[in-house]
Amino acid sequence: VETGIDIANANTLIIDRADRFGLSQLHQLRGRVGRGRERAYAYFLYPPDGTLTETAHDRLKTLAEHSELGAGMQVAMKDLEIRGAGNLLGGQQSGHIEGVGFDLYVRLVGEAVANFRGEAQEEEKEMRIELPVDAHIPTDYVDHERLRLEAYRKLAAATGEEQIQEVLAELTDRYGTPPEAVGVLADVARLRIRARASGITDIVIQGNFIRFGPVEDLPDSQIARLKRMYPKSLIKPAVRSILVPKPVGGSGFDRREVVDSEILTWAHQFLDAILPVEEEPPA
């Protein structure tokens, strides 16, 4: 019946052992009979010599009380009341939200609701920072994988220095002073925030250059500053990028590659000098 049997002139439905069916099933089944002006009858049978459970009694009582057209909402609310909403955010709930994380779950639900309402959401562009840095949380510092991933997630989601400091303070409180690689990871988060403020989504090594993009048309003053402060830099309007020679440390025969926090600081300074963030005028 539930899969689509449709007999137009049927006006009577008899369900044996109705106490074994769910409320939504019974409501759907009784809707299979009755057409327009044709009066329909649905008989729900249960053993006369047995005792109905409280839940079964509530189901049948709900159907008896809500038999008018458009009663589906009242039936659904009563079904929710009888069965309960479940442990929505726990492992017992179908879907296991804890497996994807509460924050991701909330974001996905928010996107679904916005799409349903027809509200346009600005999609956050993926940020790529590919520089010679050793940025990670060592396993001998935080040995539990889930806790390491949680710390990575918090740093990736940080939108300001205060949030970064909160993560570092939490790690210090639980595991002691963070190793250098964790400090570099925090610097990566700072650079990500600063780059996003200038509309930059790519900071990537390309040969002997570091590419910053996308970059819209630069005013003449910024081009002059770029040529003065970073000689041999290239502006690529076709791909909306700036290629800046990789920085080197030392001098003479002692020249070395700039890595870790040093190159992140260099990239941060480049953004401040060439792609400053426009301050909003006071209200």
Please provide the average confidence, as pLDDT, over all residues in the chain. Answer: 83
Q: Angle 82-87-92 (CA atoms, 0-180°, nearest 5)?
A: 110
pLDDT at 94: 46
**For residues 88 and 79, which has the higher predicted lDDT (pLDDT)?**
79
- What's the rounded Cα separation, in Å, for the pair 242 and 250? 25
Average pLDDT over residues 189-193: 94
- Rounded CA-CA distance 34/104 in Å is 45
Least confident piece of the model among 99-103, 172-176, 211-215: 99-103
CA torsion 199-104-162-176 (nearest 10°) is: -130
pLDDT of residue 76: 81
Quote the pLDDT of residue 26: 86
Q: How confident is the model at residue 145, as a pLDDT?
A: 85
Over the stretch 231-240, which tens digit does the pLDDT of each residue have?
Answer: 999 999 999 9
Task: Give the list of residues 6+ apart from residue 135 with CB closer than 8 angstroms, or none.
Answer: 181, 184, 185, 187, 188, 260
Distance CA 165, CA 155 (A): 10
User: pTM (2 decimals)?
Assistant: 0.59
The per-residue pLDDT for range 252-272, each reduced to its tens digit, is 667 788 889 999 999 999 999
Q: What is the pLDDT of residue 105?
A: 64
Cα 268 to its chain centre, rounded Å, is 27
Beta carbons within 8 Å of 60's beta carbon, 6+ residues apart: 18, 19, 26, 44, 46, 52
Which of 45-54, 63-72, 92-101, 236-245 is least confident?
92-101
Q: Which CATH superfamily is domain 128-274 in?
A: Transcription-repair-coupling factor, D7 domain (3.90.1150.50)
Structure tokens given for 100: 């994807």
Question: Which option is the CATH number for 12-83: 3.30.390.10, 3.40.640.10, 3.30.470.20, 3.40.50.300?
Answer: 3.40.50.300
Model confidence over 141-163: pLDDT tens digits?
A: 998 888 888 899 899 889 999 99
Higher pLDDT, 32 or 95: 32
Residue 215 has pLDDT above 50, yes or no: yes
